[in-house]
Structure 1
Amino acid sequence: MINTSAFQGKKAAYYTLGCKLNFSETSTFGKLLSEMGVTTAHEGEHADICLINTCSVTEVADHKCRQAIHRMVRENPDAFVVVTGCYAQLEPETVSAIDGVDLVLGSNEKANLIQYLSDAWTQPREGHLHAFHHEKTKDIKTFQPSCSRGNRTRYFLKVQDGCDYFCTYCTIPYARGFSRNPTIASLVEQARQAASEGGKEIVLTGVNIGEFGKTTGETFLDLVKALDDVEGIQRYRISSLEPDLIDDKLIEYCAHSRAFMPHFHIPLQSGNDEVLKLMHRRYTRDVFAHKINLIKELMPDAFIGVDVMVGCRGERPEYFEDCYHFLDNLPVTQLHVFPYSERPGTSALAIPYVVSDKDKKERSRRLLELSDKKTHDFYAHYIGQTRPVLFEKAPAGHAMHGFTDNYIRVTLPASEAREEYDNEILNVTLGDFRKSGKEDTLLAKAIIAK
């Protein structure tokens, strides 16, 4: 039984590391706590509850998680600190031993966050609990629905969780469990709810969303077609799809769909077939190239983001050069480059050839330079054109930002920003480059109309 009175008047602070799926889930945690009477702590306010949603994709990610936990504890000395996410699932005892941590919830337990908090608060205690709850990977069965936007304009709809692939370098299946998904009907209902709340764009998230349907016997294409029929939602984006799970029919459907945008994110990891074999990836680079070229043939304006890992075990210099030239000759838009990180328990540790940190940095640098050039050339092609932009809310006196249908980031100067533009899709003439932080954007030269 949940003691609702224990939640009343409390303030919560949230910190999320990692992928879009984590951000979506944190937003859902916030919504659940809000329904119990918990408000979000503003900047400078001390929180009664701190929730840190962790990532463990690399050793650097683990380090950042520990830093975030220490910082939240330091800034909120009397708070009840909860840690969940992938790092919490993989290293529950390590996390629970951190000074100031009260509760660690693994992947199976986080769905019952409210119950765990209620139970903890009804028990007398001195100091911090340092308790953890976590199931083995094979026992992770729950699917926690998530469709929320937090403080963003776009909604993030979780359509799948877990992964059955077990690539040699990856710990995610151990952190998230096996692939599982809800029904199409339940996801359509969540999309309708988002539309009723004024949502116009939804990003489909998950761990390996191309595996959608393993639980229910449905297909990802079936899901896409059903969501396309939801009135009110004007844009969908697919967060990430494995190359071997992208059906040509899916590409063909998206090219002519009502609301699926010309925007794909496809993990490659390596453009060399020998390295792909070492990684236990389930495709060749020819399969990857076919998918990219088909997308560009049917959707010439498509933005295509690609994940690439450099310096993994077995990536000899000639293999990296092969990967580099493969990517250089492909019509992709942006590279998300990740240096390989040794992960305990992964089979990649048995591969004998080890790449030095120096070589990893140099390979990362070269691919990031290639990415900058490709993105710059893609943006430059659209200067002077008119594209629809969904603008996001900005503080008074600040520039507004938004994305075109094909994911070009656009800046509207503060002098031209209007409150009524928030969450509106407007036709915008794209001007020249403008730097916004570390990112290039295009200046909104003129607003044409809705």
Structure 2
Amino acid sequence: MKSLDGLKVKVKSLGCRTNIYETEAIADSFRKKGAVIVDDGDFDVGILVSCAVTGTAEKKCRQALRHMKKESPKSMAILCGCYVQAKPDAELLSLGADICVGNRLKADLPRLVEGVIKGELKSPLVMKLDVLRHEKWDPLELSKVNFHTRSFVKIQDGCDLFCSYCIVPYLRGRPVSRDLRDVIAEVEGLVDQGCQEVVLTGVHLGLYGKGHDFDLADLVDALSKVKGLRRLRFGSIEPLALNDKLLVALAESEIFCPHLHVPLQSGDARILKLMNRGYSPVEFASIISNVRRYLGDDVHVSTDIIVGFPGEDEAAFASTLNFIRDLGIGRLHVFPFSPRKGTRAYDMPGRLQKCEIANRVNRALEEGGKLLQRYASIWMNRKVDVLIERCKGSKLLGLSRHYLETEIDWDAKGKLPERNYKGLECKVCVAEARHGILYGALSDIKDL
């Protein structure tokens, strides 16, 4: 008999792709102990994997914890992750969670729950490490495919760049990397269960291997040899990590999908310097040019920008929009500046009014819609490879290799196959691009 047999556990995630992976891995760790993972109805243990990268994220965490406690009032409530790392114990205890666990300790959650159930540990319980002085790798792992066609795999944690606006190094700690052999073994296990696409995630993916005798390029080479893996992606990669060795590995990989999310944050030289990003707009543009030299002009480059950073005047904001337009960016993620106590930007002069930041966010989002449509339009009257993930009526939906949503008209080929439509690879003739989504008819289909 397993130690947590029959325990009903609900796990919810807020925040980044790394949190999504950790949520799935936490669920997996409880499942291995005999627990039943539930999405609906009552549960015995509710776990919230939290985010604290912005004030809005913190507010959502508090709301989500309250909602979880109302859903199943008699359940054990667990808060873990960045919010726990950011707040003093007294404030955490006031939220009413039974267990609060910081970063790099999430793999201990089944043991802690078991201890509380058996009376060996007393709740409420708060456990945290000083992540800036601790190099522990949290040994979470994922053995079960949840999305069937695609899975996140966490390979790295932490960051030591200390951008002036960013609280993440204080929450996630300094860089640590997962052993290369462990990553390969997890991916092989996921592929054996039917996963065909892996997305590598980390807090700063480019720092993978720091302090070791391997790096991200070595991992790409190794994963490209995993039998049955059809697609490999990065969640996000910082610009200065895109060196020639990595780009050669990506260009030579038959499974790497030509899409890179490369955070910019600002296209204005003065603001970038205040942000302590370590590069200028000219250097960023040179990096993207080098990406296209290795991966081709059709590579999809998406990015992030922060709007309303202290001292950002109208000219600086306009420079950013002009810069990303001239650079041929596809998808654009826009974040309003959120002052985080403990960062250098928190006390910087020139903080903008919320109404002005909101106005700029809307303008940037409007520009982002145009940029995505412009990029999607280059695929008109061309064939793209799509991995099917779901269906909507008589339509099949999936992602192209270049990370564009694609809707496929199945009608011309008759009814859907009797087997699960997920995991079929299509070649689609693109007839239309609207709002950044490709629409087309089936050209060819095969089982993977």
| TM-score of the pair, normalised by structure 1 | 0.92
Matched, 1:369 2:366: yes
- Matched ranges for 1:165-204 at <5 A: 165-204=161-200
- The answer (yes or no) to whether the contact 1:182–1:215 under 8 Å persists in 2 is no
Distance 1:288 1:17 in 2: 30
User: Deviations along 1:197-223, whole A, 9 cap, x unmatched?
Assistant: 221110010000101112423222112
Matched, 1:320 2:314: no
Aligned counterpart, 2:291 = 295
Matched, 1:221 2:217: yes
Matched, 1:257 2:253: yes
| Structure 1 residues 149 and 56: alpha-carbon distance in aligned structure 2, compared to 1, 3 A threshold | farther
- Matched ranges for 1:406-417 at <5 A: 406-412=402-408, 417=416
Supply the AA of the counterpart residue of 1:9.
G
Alignment counterpart, residue 441 of structure 2, candidates 430, 442, 445: 445
- The answer (yes or no) to whether the contact 2:306–2:335 under 8 Å persists in 1 is yes
SS at match of 1:114: helix
SS at match of 1:268: coil
Distance 1:39 1:444 in 2: 41
The offset of 1:188, in angstroms, is 1.5
Matched, 1:352 2:346: no
Distance 1:151 1:421 in 2: 13
Matched, 1:51 2:52: no
Supply the AA of the counterpart residue of 1:194.
L
- The answer (yes or no) to whether the contact 1:400–1:417 under 8 Å persists in 2 is no
- The answer (yes or no) to whether the contact 2:51–2:81 under 8 Å persists in 1 is yes
The offset of 1:149, in angstroms, is 4.4
Distance 2:52 2:61 in 1: 8
User: Deviations along 1:241-286, whole A, 9 cap, x unmatched?
Assistant: 1111110332233223211110100011111111111111111111
Aligned counterpart, 1:421 = 421
Supply the AA of the counterpart residue of 2:254.
R
Supply the AA of the counterpart residue of 1:74.
K
| Structure 1 residues 432 and 71: alpha-carbon distance in aligned structure 2, compared to 1, 3 A threshold | same
Aligned counterpart, 1:86 = 82
Aligned counterpart, 1:132 = 126
Aligned counterpart, 2:100 = 104
Distance 1:390 1:375 in 2: 20
Alignment counterpart, residue 9 of structure 1, candidates 6, 10, 15: 6
- The answer (yes or no) to whether the contact 1:237–1:260 under 8 Å persists in 2 is yes
User: Deviations along 1:75-131, whole A, 9 cap, x unmatched?
Assistant: 1111111111111211152233213x1111001321211111111111189xx9332
Unaligned ranges ≥5, structure 1: none
Aligned counterpart, 1:245 = 241
4+ residue runs over 3 A deviation? 145-149, 397-400, 412-420
Distance 2:410 2:124 in 1: 47
SS at match of 1:427: strand
Supply the AA of the counterpart residue of 1:432.
E
Q: Percent identity?
A: 30
Distance 2:133 2:250 in 1: 36
- The answer (yes or no) to whether the contact 1:411–1:443 under 8 Å persists in 2 is yes
What number of residue pairs does the alignment pair up?
438
The offset of 1:413, in angstroms, is 5.7
Matched, 1:119 2:112: no
Supply the AA of the counterpart residue of 1:111.
A
User: Deviations along 1:335-363, whole A, 9 cap, x unmatched?
Assistant: 10000001111111231111111221121
- The answer (yes or no) to whether the contact 2:302–2:330 under 8 Å persists in 1 is yes
Alignment counterpart, residue 135 of structure 2, candidates 127, 141, 144: 141
Distance 1:282 1:224 in 2: 25
Distance 2:266 2:244 in 1: 21
Which deviates further from its counterpart, 361-370 or 407-416? 407-416
- The answer (yes or no) to whether the contact 2:329–2:371 under 8 Å persists in 1 is yes
The offset of 1:151, in angstroms, is 3.6
Unaligned ranges ≥5, structure 2: none
- The answer (yes or no) to whether the contact 1:49–1:79 under 8 Å persists in 2 is yes
Distance 1:40 1:417 in 2: 31
Aligned counterpart, 1:378 = 375
Matched, 1:38 2:35: yes
Matched, 1:341 2:352: no
- The answer (yes or no) to whether the contact 2:230–2:255 under 8 Å persists in 1 is yes
| Structure 1 residues 215 and 122: alpha-carbon distance in aligned structure 2, compared to 1, 3 A threshold | farther
Aligned counterpart, 1:26 = 23
Distance 2:86 2:37 in 1: 28
Alignment counterpart, residue 205 of structure 2, candidates 190, 199, 209: 209
User: Deviations along 1:55-74, whole A, 9 cap, x unmatched?
Assistant: 11110000011111111111
SS at match of 1:332: coil
- The answer (yes or no) to whether the contact 2:156–2:208 under 8 Å persists in 1 is yes
Alignment counterpart, residue 328 of structure 2, candidates 327, 331, 334: 331
- The answer (yes or no) to whether the contact 1:108–1:140 under 8 Å persists in 2 is no
| Structure 1 residues 217 and 314: alpha-carbon distance in aligned structure 2, compared to 1, 3 A threshold | farther
Which deviates further from its counterpart, 249-258 or 380-389? 249-258
| Structure 1 residues 394 and 97: alpha-carbon distance in aligned structure 2, compared to 1, 3 A threshold | farther
Supply the AA of the counterpart residue of 2:258.
P
| TM-score of the pair, normalised by structure 2 | 0.92
| Structure 1 residues 124 and 187: alpha-carbon distance in aligned structure 2, compared to 1, 3 A threshold | closer
| Structure 1 residues 152 and 60: alpha-carbon distance in aligned structure 2, compared to 1, 3 A threshold | farther
Supply the AA of the counterpart residue of 2:333.
H
The offset of 1:393, in angstroms, is 3.9
| Structure 1 residues 227 and 406: alpha-carbon distance in aligned structure 2, compared to 1, 3 A threshold | same
The offset of 1:364, in angstroms, is 1.1
- Matched ranges for 1:280-291 at <5 A: 280-291=276-287
